[in-house]
């Protein structure tokens, strides 16, 4: 069974002052680095410009809290104005890179194939990609949720350079993100089980890939969602901006 993982996606929120307060409060509720680790790995994904600030703060507190980024370039370097390479964030001790978040698929037009290339680029720099997949409401209503998610996962798994033992998948139904409308534990489990099956068909190592749920997970609904057999953690948006709520979700994952 994969280790549980809870990741806070801060999206485009924060400031030097707000980040300092939030990370102090989150770190205070987690084990120190080098202490016996808890049952759950915990990471935060701030806006990229704050990675250096948060690296310093986390190190100063000797916290076990890991860093993630919200996106990376599919390219290693070069003429890609505004992009950031995975190797650059790796220099700051970043452990995970979220790729293919539905907001990037929607607003930046990212395709399944670009997302898959980003996952490979993240791994090549030593990061663990967290690949987001999920159907829209129209797709769910048309009975296509399983097929849409399977195609998104397939695009990543068919990359020959991909190391499936260093991969995280996050199932985030688009209709549940930031809407306050959560997938029921049964709805989420159905998709997670299908993703697990798809991974297992590839290899035994892939069966150990953590599959996170994301979409309006909060302190009140986390326990039930995380109790499902194939839900290995959470990707948390809104609730990650309040330390108390975020830590309650981490607690629910224990």
Which positions are catalytic?
101, 172
Q: Would you say the C-alpha torsion 114, 116, 119, 121 has a positive or negative sign? A: negative
Q: Which is closer to ligand PEP, CB of 110 or CB of 200?
A: 110
Q: How far is the CB of 9 from ligand PEP (least distance, A)?
A: 4
Considering beta carbons, is residue 194 or 215 the nearer one to ligand PEP? Answer: 215
CA 53/CA 44 separation, integer angstroms: 13
Copy the structure tokens of residue 33. Answer: 């680095």
C-beta separation of 48 from 10 below 8 A: no
- The count of residues interacting with ligand PEP (CB under 6 A) is 13
Contact 171, 191 (CB under 8 A): yes
Identify whether the C-beta of residue 221 lies closer than 8 Å to the C-beta of residue 186. no
Residue 126, token pair as written in the block: 């030593």
- Sole window of 53-61, 136-144, 172-180, 197-205 interacting with ligand PEP (rule: CB under 6 A): 172-180
If the CB atoms of residues 139 and 172 are measured against ligand PEP, the closer one turns out to be 172
Indicate the residue among 56 and 108 with the shorter CB distance to ligand PEP.
108
Site string for ligand PEP, 173-212 (x = CB under 6 A): ----xx----------------------------------
Q: Which of 236, 247, 250, 253 contacts ligand PEP by CB under 6 A?
A: 236
Residue 163, burial from CB neighbour count under 10 angstroms (0-12, 13-18, 19+): middle
Find how far residue 52's CA is from the centre of its chain: 20
Query: Does the protein bind ligand PEP through residue 152 (CB under 6 A)?
Result: no
Which one-letter DSSP state was computed for residue 117? H
Q: Would you count residue 248 as binding ligand PEP (CB under 6 A)?
A: no
Considering the complex, state which of residue 87 and residue 221 has its C-beta at the smaller distance from ligand PEP: 221
Residue 217 within binding range of ligand PEP, rule CB under 6 A: yes
The H-or-E segment that residue 133 falls in is strand 128-133
For ligand PEP, the binding residue among 72, 97, 235, 253 (CB under 6 A) is: 235
Q: Which of 215, 233, 245, 253 binds ligand PEP (CB under 6 A)?
A: 215
The DSSP 8-state label assigned to residue 32 in this structure reads: B
Can residue 216 be called a binding residue for ligand PEP (CB under 6 A)?
yes
Helix (H, G, I), strand (E, B) or coil at 226: helix
What residue ranges bind ligand PEP (CB under 6 A)?
A: 9, 172, 177-178, 214-217, 235-239
């Amino acid at each position: 069974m994969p280790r549980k993982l809870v990741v806070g996606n801060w999206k485009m929120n924060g400031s030097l002052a707000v980040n300092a307060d939030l990370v102090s409060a989150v770190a205070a509720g987690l084990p120190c680095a080098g202490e016996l680790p808890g049952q759950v790995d915990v990471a935060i994904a701030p806006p990229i410009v704050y990675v250096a600030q948060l690296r310093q703060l986390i190190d100063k507190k000797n916290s076990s809290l890991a860093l993630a980024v919200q996106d990376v370039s599919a390219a290693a370097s070069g003429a890609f104005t505004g992009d950031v390479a995975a190797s650059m964030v790796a220099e700051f001790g970043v452990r995970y890179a979220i790729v293919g978040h539905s907001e990037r698929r929607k607003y930046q037009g990212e395709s399944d194939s670009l997302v898959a290339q980003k996952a490979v680029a993240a791994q090549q720099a030593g990061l663990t990609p967290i690949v987001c997949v999920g159907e829209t409401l129209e797709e769910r209503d048309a009975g296509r949720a399983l097929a849409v998610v399977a195609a998104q996962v397939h695009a990543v798994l068919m990359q020959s350079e991909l190391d499936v033992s260093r991969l995280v998948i996050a199932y985030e139904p688009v209709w549940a993100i930031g809407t306050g409308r959560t997938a029921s534990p049964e709805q989420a489990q159905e998709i997670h089980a299908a993703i697990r099956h798809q991974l297992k068909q590839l290899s035994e190592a892939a069966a150990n890939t953590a599959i996170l749920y994301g979409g309006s997970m909060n302190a009140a609904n986390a326990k039930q969602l995380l109790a499902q057999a194939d839900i290995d953690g959470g990707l948390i948006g809104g609730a990650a901006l309040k330390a108390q709520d975020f830590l309650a979700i981490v607690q629910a994952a224990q």
